[in-house]
C-alpha cells in the first residue's frame, strides 16, 4: 500500500488535500473546545448581572437573552477557530505544493540551460533509484537526466566526428597540395609516378567521403534490408573475386573453410557481402606480405558463425573495446599506408546488429594475429 502511494502522484495530491481538510477540521474543533466554555462563561456572567437588576421587569425576555449570549460565544469561538484553521491549511498547502512545483521548476530551468548548450546539466532525483517507489515526478526527473545524458553523448560524438574527419582529410590534402606546389615550382618533374601519387590521395579522399556518407545513412537508419535466405557459398562467391587481386598483389594467401555447402543464412546479400569485404580488407591491411588469412564458417544453434583470422599485427586488450569505433586504428601508420578510412568496422557492426547478429574481435596479443567474428541468423 505504501509503495502504491509513493509511486502515484495523483494519490499523493488527493491525500494532501484530505490532510488539509482534516487539519482544518481538527483545528476548528480544538479551538471551539477550548474557547467556547470561557466565552460562554463570560457572557453568562454578564447575563447573571443583568438578571439580578432586571429580574422583575424582564422575566419574559430571559430565555431570549440567554440564547443570544450563547450564540455570540459560539460565533466568537468559530471565528477564532476558522482563522487558525485557515492559517494552518495555507501553510500545509504551501509545503505540499512546493513538493510538486520545485521539481517542475528545476526541470524547466535545466531544460533552458541545455538549450543554451550546457549538456552537463542534471536535475536531482528524489527517492531510492533501487526501489520501485518513485512517483511520476521522480520518474520524469530520471527520464530528463537520461535525455540530457543522451544529448551530451551525441554532442561529444559530433565534436569527435568533426575532429576525426578533419584529421583524416588533412593528410591527403597536404600531400596533394605539397605535390602540386612542387610541380608548380618545378622542383619535381611531371612524371607518371607523381600523377599516380596525386591520383592515389584523391582516391583516398573519395573513399573517405563515400564511407562517411554510408555511415551517416546507416547510423540514421535510412536504409532497408532485403532479408532473404542466402546460401553462404553464394555470399563467398560474390566476395572473394572482389579482393583476389589485392591479396595476390600483396602475396597473402586467402583460405576458405566452409563447414558445409548447405549452410544458409537469413540476411541481406548485398549488406552481408559488404561486411565480409570490410573484414577481409581489414585483415589484408594488417597482415604483412606473405601472410595468411583464413575464413571459417560453421553452424551453431540457430545461427551461422563467420570468422576471419589473420596472422598479422594483432592487438592488445586495451584496444579491444575501441576497435569498432569510427576512425580508430591499432596501427595508424600502416592503416594510412593501406588507405583505409577507419570506419569500415563501424559500418560492419551496425549492419551485423541490424540483422540481429553479433560481431566481436579477439587476439592473443601484438604480432600474434587476430580474429574478427560475426553471427547471422540461420535460415
> For residues 315 and 29, which has the higher predicted lDDT (pLDDT)?
315
Give helix then strand counts, H and E, for the chain. 9, 7
CATH topology of domain 228-377: Heat Shock Protein 90 (3.30.565)
C-alpha cell at 88: 494552518
pLDDT digit string, tens, across residues 165-178: 777 778 788 888 88
**What is the pLDDT averaged over residues 243-271?**
88
Q: Measure the CA–CA gap between 286 and 29, rounded to whole angstroms.
A: 88
Contact 157, 183 (CB under 8 A): no
* 115-129 tens-digit pLDDT: 888 888 888 877 655
Q: Is the pLDDT of residue 308 over 90?
A: yes
**Global pTM?**
0.58
Residue 169: count other Cβ atoms within 10 Å of its Cβ. 14
Q: Which pLDDT value is given to residue 279?
A: 92
Closest of 165, 376, 156 to residue 268, by C-alpha: 376
Q: How far is CA 287 from CA 6, 243, 254, 292, 310, in A?
A: 61, 14, 11, 8, 7
Secondary structure of the chain: what % helix, strand, coil (to 5)? 65, 10, 25
Average pLDDT, whole number, for the chain?
78
Best CA proximity match to 144, nearest among 107, 105, 104: 107
Q: Where are the domains of the chain?
A: 2-116, 162-219, 228-377
Amino acid at each position: 500500500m505504501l509503495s502504491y502511494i509513493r509511486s502515484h502522484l495523483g494519490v499523493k495530491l488527493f491525500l494532501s488535500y484530505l490532510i488539509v481538510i482534516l487539519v482544518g477540521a481538527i483545528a476548528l474543533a480544538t479551538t471551539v473546545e477550548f474557547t467556547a466554555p470561557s466565552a460562554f462563561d463570560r457572557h453568562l456572567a454578564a447575563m447573571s448581572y443583568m438578571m439580578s437588576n432586571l429580574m422583575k421587569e424582564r422575566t419574559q425576555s430571559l430565555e431570549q437573552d440567554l440564547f443570544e449570549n450563547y450564540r455570540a460565544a459560539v460565533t466568537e469561538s468559530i471565528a477564532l477557530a476558522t482563522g487558525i484553521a485557515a492559517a494552518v491549511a495555507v501553510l500545509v498547502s504551501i509545503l505540499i505544493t512546493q513538493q510538486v512545483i520545485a521539481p517542475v521548476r528545476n526541470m524547466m530551468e535545466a531544460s533552458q540551460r541545455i538549450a543554451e548548450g550546457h549538456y552537463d546539466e542534471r536535475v536531482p532525483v528524489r527517492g531510492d533509484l533501487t526501489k520501485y517507489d518513485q512517483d511520476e515526478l521522480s520518474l520524469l526527473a530520471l527520464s530528463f537526466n537520461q535525455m540530457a545524458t543522451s544529448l551530451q553523448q551525441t554532442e561529444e560524438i559530433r565534436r569527435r566526428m568533426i575532429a576525426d574527419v578533419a584529421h583524416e582529410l588533412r593528410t591527403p590534402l597536404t600531400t596533394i597540395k605539397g605535390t602540386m606546389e612542387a610541380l608548380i615550382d618545378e622542383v619535381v618533374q611531371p612524371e607518371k609516378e607523381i600523377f599516380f601519387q596525386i591520383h592515389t590521395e584523391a582516391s583516398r579522399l573519395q573513399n573517405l567521403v563515400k564511407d562517411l556518407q554510408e555511415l551517416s545513412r546507416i547510423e540514421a537508419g535510412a536504409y532497408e534490408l532485403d532479408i532473404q535466405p542466402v546460401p553462404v557459398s553464394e555470399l563467398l562467391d560474390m566476395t572473394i573475386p572482389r579482393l583476389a587481386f589485392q591479396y595476390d598483389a600483396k602475396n597473402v594467401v586467402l583460405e576458405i573453410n566452409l563447414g558445409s555447402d548447405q549452410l544458409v543464412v537469413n540476411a541481406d546479400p548485398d549488406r552481408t557481402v559488404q561486411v565480409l569485404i570490410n573484414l577481409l580488407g581489414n585483415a589484408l591491411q594488417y597482415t604483412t606480405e606473405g601472410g595468411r588469412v583464413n575464413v571459417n564458417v560453421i553452424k551453431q544453434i540457430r545461427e551461422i558463425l563467420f570468422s576471419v583470422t589473420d596472422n598479422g599485427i594483432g592487438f592488445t586488450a586495451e584496444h579491444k573495446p575501441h576497435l569498432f569505433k569510427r576512425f580508430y586504428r591499432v596501427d595508424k601508420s600502416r592503416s594510412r599506408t593501406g588507405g583505409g578510412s577507419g570506419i569500415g568496422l563501424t559500418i560492419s557492426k551496425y549492419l551485423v546488429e541490424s540483422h540481429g547478429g553479433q560481431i566481436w574481435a579477439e587476439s592473443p596479443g601484438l604480432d600474434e594475429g587476430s580474429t574478427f567474428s560475426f553471427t547471422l541468423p540461420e535460415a
